């Protein structure tokens, strides 16, 4: 079960020629482990002011974000198995279920990266499907982080295929914690693999309006960034995510 698809949500590649509607693509992100409540609330206020698509935080902060964003129209997003993906699937599913119960509208999970590198599609499907069931039962949507910097092109394709088979709503490039980041080439590859009906999220190193526009032109329908304000202002962000 997923949210209704819109041109800037999760189906097909959107287009954007100026900063006017770029905010609707952005998951305004704060995933640093040392983030304070005051910093989380600041991000929420920014998201409400600029009309970003969501605020993406660690599970600890989901209740805080949900409350802060009430009546703002901004979604609450959380990450699962983050940033390594190296926890058992049932633990990821439990974590996801808890985040959705706390109010998360969207879940970004990290795959079993070792399985992707080993070419084990069955293990990938099982891992993603376990989380997808937990997320969709709660009425939320699932984005699958494949961690492109650690995979070959063939492994990226395999991870995307497994995400489709397992019932994910999006595929996503990166955590931003393991080097590398989103590239237009990876976005194009992911879009070709998943087809027009899944979302593709570019995250990691998207710091300017030009970066975001390049990702959207390549097929991205969502942008994960902590430089969202710089992006909508046409400035250059400095954050690593």
Confidence of residue 241 (pLDDT cuts 50, 70, 90): low
The chain-wide mean pLDDT, for the chain, equals 92
Give the pLDDT of residue 181. 87
Confidence of residue 34 (pLDDT cuts 50, 70, 90): very high
Poorest-pLDDT segment among 4-8, 58-62, 223-227, 233-237 = 4-8
Give the pLDDT of residue 197. 95
CA distance 74 to 47: 7
Query: Mean of the pLDDT values across residues 106-135?
Result: 98
Which token pair is 233? 């202002």
The residue among 214, 221, 124 whose CA lies nearest residue 169 is 221
Confidence of residue 240 (pLDDT cuts 50, 70, 90): low
- Cα dihedral 4/213/135/59 (nearest 10): -130
Question: Which sequence positions are flagged as catalytic?
Answer: 108, 172, 201
Cβ-contact 160, 148 below 8 angstroms: no
Convert the pLDDT of each residue in 203-223 to its tens digit.
999 999 999 999 999 999 999
Considering Cα of 81, then 84, then 87, then 90, what sign does the dihedral take? positive
Asked if pLDDT for residue 199 goes beyond 70, the answer is yes
Give the pLDDT of residue 236. 85
Query: Mean of the pLDDT values across residues 145-157?
Result: 98
The residue among 84, 39, 70 whose CA lies nearest residue 57 is 39
CA distance 187 to 216: 9
Asked if pLDDT for residue 70 goes beyond 80, the answer is yes
Asked if pLDDT for residue 16 goes beyond 50, the answer is no
Radius of gyration over every alpha carbon of the chain, rounded to an integer in angstroms: 16
Residues 6+ apart with CB under 8 A from 34: none
Q: Which backbone phi and psi does 160 adopt, to 5 degrees? A: -65, -40
Percent of the chain clearing pLDDT 70 (strictly above): 90
């Amino acid at each position: 079960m997923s949210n209704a698809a819109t041109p800037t949500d999760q189906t097909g590649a959107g287009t954007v020629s100026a900063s006017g509607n770029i905010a609707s693509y952005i998951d305004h992100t704060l995933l640093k482990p040392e983030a304070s409540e005051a910093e989380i609330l600041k991000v929420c206020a920014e998201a409400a002011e600029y009309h970003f698509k969501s605020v993406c935080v660690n599970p600890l902060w989901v209740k805080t974000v949900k409350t802060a964003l009430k009546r703002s129209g901004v979604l609450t997003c959380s990450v699962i198995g983050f940033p390594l993906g190296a926890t058992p699937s049932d633990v990821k599913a439990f974590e996801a279920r808890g985040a959705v119960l706390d109010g998360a509208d969207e879940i970004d999970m990290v795959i079993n990266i070792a399985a992707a590198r080993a070419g084990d599609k069955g293990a990938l499907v099982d891992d993603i499907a376990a989380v997808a069931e937990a997320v969709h039962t709660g009425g939320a949507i699932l984005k699958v982080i494949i961690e492109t910097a650690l995979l070959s092109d063939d492994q990226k394709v395999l991870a995307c295929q497994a995400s489709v088979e397992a019932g994910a709503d999006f595929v996503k490039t990166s955590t931003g914690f393991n080097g590398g980041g989103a590239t237009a080439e990876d976005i194009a590859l992911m879009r070709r693999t998943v087809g027009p009906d899944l979302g593709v999220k570019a995250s990691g190193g998207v710091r300017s309006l030009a970066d975001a526009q390049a990702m959207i032109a390549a097929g991205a329908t969502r942008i994960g960034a902590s430089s969202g304000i710089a992006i909508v202002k046409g400035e250059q962000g400095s954050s690593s995510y």
